[in-house]
Amino acid sequence: MLKGLDIEKVLFLDIETVAQKPDFAQLEETDQLLWAEKSRFTCEREGITPAKAYEKAGILAEFGRIICISVGFISQSKGERVYRTTSFFGHDEAQLLREFANLIHNKFSFPGALLCGHNAKEFDFPYIARRMLINRIAIPDMLNMAGKKPWEVAHLDTLELWKFGDFKHFTSLKLLARVFGIPTPKDDIDGSQVGHTYWVEDDLDKIERYCQKDTLTVARLMLAYLGQPTIEDYQVLVV
């Protein structure tokens, strides 16, 4: 799998998103109608109201926004591999997107550079690109798929690699970490709790830690796919 991949040319990432408003009632009337239209099939299938369905609005770029992007990459330091990681997070989505775009432009625009995430081709990559357009931010070439052939897209997806062409098969990052014996934190939130942690607890730091640890898990999973030694905790450098 992935013969010839240079792991040091890969930028691992994960994002966390929330709905635009804490709850459906706080949306303007026009947005309530648009959400009701967008969520109609979900509401009919699950027998719920648009207000209840709005709990998952954060997964849609038209009704949500990004509050954290965590990234990490593997490099050499004193003859040993280290995993350097950082996060862009806050209430100002446009600012964190600009900071992330600057990182791509300045540090990861070299030949052979790749972006990698879990289910990132379906979620993270297009979500970031859509929110950049909405915020009037130029999309870095690595994220802009317009006019590119499939082999020209610099994206890796640990979920897609695990599917081996089986398009109906979804496996969570948490399950794959368990299967490959990759340690995961026991004291963190999960994706379903991000909205509550943001809107009710007002704890962005907790969300940032959760996002950053998920990014590290993706890196460890890719190393497992490659049959290479994992990154140990002492090799992680938060910058």
Write out the residue range of the structural domain in which residue 49 sits: 21-62
| β-sheet bridge partners, residue 82 | 75
Q: Is residue 225 part of a domain?
A: yes
How many angstroms separate the CA atoms of 129 and 120, rounded? 12
Q: Tell whether 45 and 115 lie within a shared domain.
A: no
36-43 contacts, C-beta under 8 A, 24 or more apart: 38/62, 38/63
Query: Which of these, 119, 195, 204, 194, lies nearest to 162 by C-alpha position?
Result: 119
Q: Tell whether 144 and 199 lie within a shared domain.
A: yes
Mean pLDDT value across residues 160-181: 91
Mean pLDDT value across residues 85-111: 96
Q: Is residue 147 part of a domain?
A: yes
* pLDDT recorded at residue 169: 79
Q: Tell whether 95 and 172 lie within a shared domain.
A: yes
* pLDDT recorded at residue 187: 63
Q: Tell whether 78 and 31 lie within a shared domain.
A: no
Residue 179 CB neighbour total at 10 angstroms: 12
Q: Tell whether 190 and 73 lie within a shared domain.
A: yes
Q: Tell whether 161 and 55 lie within a shared domain.
A: no
Q: Is residue 176 part of a domain?
A: yes
Q: Tell whether 167 and 75 lie within a shared domain.
A: yes
Q: Is residue 75 part of a domain?
A: yes
Find out whether 2 and 56 touch, Cβ atoms under 8 Å: no
Do the strands 64-77 and 10-19 form a parallel or antiparallel pair, or are they unpaired?
antiparallel
* pLDDT recorded at residue 147: 83
Q: Tell whether 77 and 53 lie within a shared domain.
A: no
The total of structural domains in the chain comes to 2
Mean model confidence pLDDT for the chain:
93
Query: Which of these, 65, 74, 106, 59, lies nearest to 9 by C-alpha position?
Result: 74
Q: Is residue 1 part of a domain?
A: no
Query: Which of these, 113, 145, 109, lies nearest to 129 by C-alpha position?
Result: 145
How many angstroms separate the CA atoms of 153 and 237, rounded? 29
Q: Tell whether 29 and 86 lie within a shared domain.
A: no
* pLDDT recorded at residue 152: 83
* pLDDT recorded at residue 125: 97
Residue 111 CB neighbour total at 10 angstroms: 6
| β-sheet bridge partners, residue 68 | 16, 89
Task: Return the SS3 of 40.
Answer: helix
Q: Tell whether 47 and 74 lie within a shared domain.
A: no
Q: Tell whether 84 and 192 lie within a shared domain.
A: yes
pLDDT category of residue 1 using cuts at 50, 70 and 90? low
Share of the chain above pLDDT 70, in %: 98
- Whichever domain contains 107, its CATH number is 3.30.420.10
What is the Cα Rg of the chain in Å? 18
Q: Is residue 150 part of a domain?
A: yes
Say if residue 111's pLDDT is above 80.
yes
Q: Tell whether 39 and 101 lie within a shared domain.
A: no
